[in-house]
Amino acid sequence: MPRTGSPTGEEKSMMAPLRSPTQGVRKIADVAYDLGLGVDHLVPYGQGCAKVPVDLLPSLERASLHRGKVLLVTSMTPTTHGEGKTVTSIGLAMALRKLGYRSTVCLRQPSLGPTLGLKGGGSGGGRACVEPAALLNLGFPGDTSAVTSAHNLLSALIDNHLHHGLAPPLDPGRIVWPRTMDMDDRALRQVRIGLGEGKGYGPARDDSFIITAASEVMAVLGLARDPQDLKDRLGRILVGWTRDGQAVYARELGAVGAMAALLRDALYPNLVQTSEGTPAFVHTGPFANLGHGTASAISIHMARALSEICLVEAGFASDLGTEKFMDLVGPIADVPVDGAVVVATLPALRYHGGADLVNDHLPNPEAVGKGLANLEKHLDNVRTFGLSPVVALNRFPGDSAEEVRQVGAFCDRQGVPWAESNVFAEGSAGGVQLAELVLDAARKGARGHPLYDAERTTAEEKLERVAREIYGADGVDLSAQAVKDLEEVRALGHGRLPLCIAKTPLSLSDDPHLRGRPGGFRLQVHRVLPRTGAGYLVATTGEIVLMPGLPRAPAALGIDLTPSGEITGVH
């Protein structure tokens, strides 16, 4: 529950007005106190992080005079360089606090795979990051490890069930539950396990690994309301089929209790802070290309109860994180959306206008002009969900004044408010103008809505609507396997679940090489996989894989530990 009664001696020292952001990182107890939480309401994890128990949420919501507005931060189609949604989300929260508003930012937990692979860390950068940045990027405080353990416990119980021939009699050839690890490792995409069956290792069968961010356990953790809801969702996970075609769920293997126990602390949101001391929740880490792509519903509800404005980063662009938030997270977790910020960069505009990645940092007004078609589509998408967009032009070195004027003139023609964002270089001071525009948009009272009614539309109808209205496709083509998958899903009674479409983030289409605003293509759907615990179906498209691979020169090669114990090279 929120702080009550007379403050203790320790709390009196925390009751000063909000400190100037220039004073930087504060004690986590001070950060919590700004939100109305006393030290007795925290579970400390070192000096820079504290977990907030989920059983506080009902009392926080009852005590809240109003629920904070939720603003999604999305972007135009990104390049492999990244366009700065995390930086912008953090910078906006800091700028709003600088203007006197109680603001909180909700971010996903970075995954080790991208951190050590191609993308690098996910804690922001420059003067707009969350602390402790290096530790958060390397798995602190252990939530992702707990998800990995819970997931693989179920995997181990499945093979133990097969080994001992227990009831219900699983068919080894129809196990649908993979294994997982939080690392990019393409060699594990398809494996053979149980070799040496005569020695008691078997039965031998084909298996696979997915990255932990794509695990259904991660999705369950991100959508669960409380410990009982967590257990209910874990119990509904489909693990496979019997030889006579009966579905088998995790609850039938006795897995739920131990899985939930492993996830107990991981269910608690992590309270940290930005580089200027603004409160931040960093909790759960589903990718937006493979999963639903936002911080946990619990952390967002807590932020709404404790602050006036809650910034939520929706992974990748409006065709992924935003669509999934509006069609999945919002309806499933009862989270409203009051506005959207669309991040654009001149490097991305140049790239989508024809420049290559090697030269996208060089001024190129012609390419920018062509690339604006991509931004236009993302603005259209945001409007499709009933939201009024604000454009944040995230500034990069090499941006020219002429190109900035191009973007401004385009936004003016679109009737969309816009501002330059310099939060990477300047912190909160570089985001004040943007924050004022965001406040104006939030005051208009717009409320987002889903693209479709999940209960009244079939999976095929959902796919068609998203493909045509959000991606700009001419339609959808289902593989023979996808058709078979849908027949099985309907037989299970799950044909009306919402859809989570697994798609490349590098294009509005399912082909990462199609830049700009593609047209004349059809969405290719290969599989439709039931995620009955999470409460949605996953449709895989294009060449998407659930276990990424490392690049030729992984970021891990530049990470080190100094003799003094400092971690270097994590960006």
Contact 136, 282 (CB under 8 A): yes
The torsion angles phi and psi of 477, rounded to 5 degrees, stand at -115, 125
Residues 368 and 404 in one domain: yes
- Give the integer Cα–Cα distance in Å for 393 and 243: 56
Predicted confidence at residue 240, as pLDDT, reads 97
- Give the integer Cα–Cα distance in Å for 341 and 404: 18
E strand map for 350-461: 389-394, 418-421
In a domain, 137, yes or no: yes
Q: Taking the chain (571 residues) in consecutive chunks of 10 residues, what is each chunk's mean pLDDT?
A: 34 31 73 92 91 95 86 96 94 98 96 89 93 93 97 97 95 97 96 82 91 97 98 98 96 98 98 97 95 97 96 97 98 96 98 94 97 98 97 95 98 98 97 97 89 97 98 98 97 96 97 97 97 97 93 93 94 78
The torsion angles phi and psi of 277, rounded to 5 degrees, stand at 85, 10
- Torsion angle in degrees (nearest 10) through CA of 157, 160, 165, 171: 60
Report the phi/psi class of residue 29: left, alpha or beta, with left for phi > 0 and alpha for psi in -120 to 50.
alpha
In a domain, 59, yes or no: no
- Give the integer Cα–Cα distance in Å for 507 and 191: 30
DSSP structure class, residue 353? T
Residues 152 and 136 in one domain: no
Residues 305 and 371 in one domain: yes
Last residue of a domain, one of 236, 265, 294: 265
- Give the integer Cα–Cα distance in Å for 499 and 538: 6
The torsion angles phi and psi of 414, rounded to 5 degrees, stand at -80, -10
Q: Are strands 270-274 and 279-282 parallel, antiparallel or unpaired?
A: antiparallel
In a domain, 31, yes or no: no
Predicted confidence at residue 66, as pLDDT, reads 73
Last residue of a domain, one of 265, 281, 308: 265
In a domain, 323, yes or no: yes
- Give the integer Cα–Cα distance in Å for 274 and 96: 13
Q: For residue 238, what are the domain limits?
A: 143-265
- Torsion angle in degrees (nearest 10) through CA of 53, 57, 58, 60: 120
Residues 136 and 150 in one domain: no
Residues 122 and 193 in one domain: no
In a domain, 570, yes or no: no
- Give the integer Cα–Cα distance in Å for 461 and 452: 9
Contact 282, 272 (CB under 8 A): yes
* CATH code of 333's domain: 3.40.50.300
- Give the integer Cα–Cα distance in Å for 36 and 380: 38
- Give the integer Cα–Cα distance in Å for 45 and 43: 7
In a domain, 302, yes or no: yes
What one-letter code names the amino acid at 167?
A
* CATH code of 504's domain: 3.10.410.10
Residues 284 and 320 in one domain: yes
DSSP structure class, residue 364? -
Closest CA to 286 of 321, 332, 259: 321
Predicted confidence at residue 24, as pLDDT, reads 62
Query: What is the chain's alpha carbon radius of gyration, rounded to the nearest angstrom?
Result: 23
- Give the integer Cα–Cα distance in Å for 284 and 224: 11
In a domain, 155, yes or no: yes
DSSP structure class, residue 358? T
What one-letter code names the amino acid at 114?
P
- Give the integer Cα–Cα distance in Å for 498 and 538: 9
Q: Which residues are paired to 54 by β-bridges?
A: none
Residues 149 and 123 in one domain: no
Spell out the residues 6+ positions from residue 96 whose beta carbon is closer than 8 angstroms to its own: 103, 309, 311, 435, 438, 439
Residues 364 and 439 in one domain: yes
Can you tell me whether residue 391 is helix, strand or coil? strand
Contact 451, 385 (CB under 8 A): yes
- Give the integer Cα–Cα distance in Å for 39 and 267: 19
Q: Are strands 128-131 and 339-344 parallel, antiparallel or unpaired?
A: unpaired
Residues 8, 14, 16, 18, CA torsion sign: negative
Tokens of 444: 């208009």
Contact 108, 316 (CB under 8 A): no
* CATH code of 147's domain: 3.30.1510.10
- Indicate the number of domains in the chain: 3
- Give the integer Cα–Cα distance in Å for 58 and 89: 26
E strand map for 31-143: 43-45, 49-51, 69-75, 103-107, 124-125, 128-131
Element housing 260 (H / E): helix 256-262
Spell out the residues 6+ positions from residue 40 whose beta carbon is closer than 8 angstroms to its own: none
Last residue of a domain, one of 389, 409, 443: 443
Tokens of 428: 């909160």
Residues 238 and 279 in one domain: no
Q: Which residues are paired to 390 by β-bridges?
A: 341
- Give the integer Cα–Cα distance in Å for 158 and 166: 10
What one-letter code names the amino acid at 310?
C
- Give the integer Cα–Cα distance in Å for 22 and 6: 30
Residues 305, 310, 314, 315, CA torsion sign: negative
Is it true that the peptide bond before 132 is cis, omega within 30 degrees of 0? yes
Residues 344 and 489 in one domain: no
Residues 251 and 294 in one domain: no
In a domain, 51, yes or no: no
Residues 261 and 280 in one domain: no
Predicted confidence at residue 494, as pLDDT, reads 95
Predicted confidence at residue 197, as pLDDT, reads 66
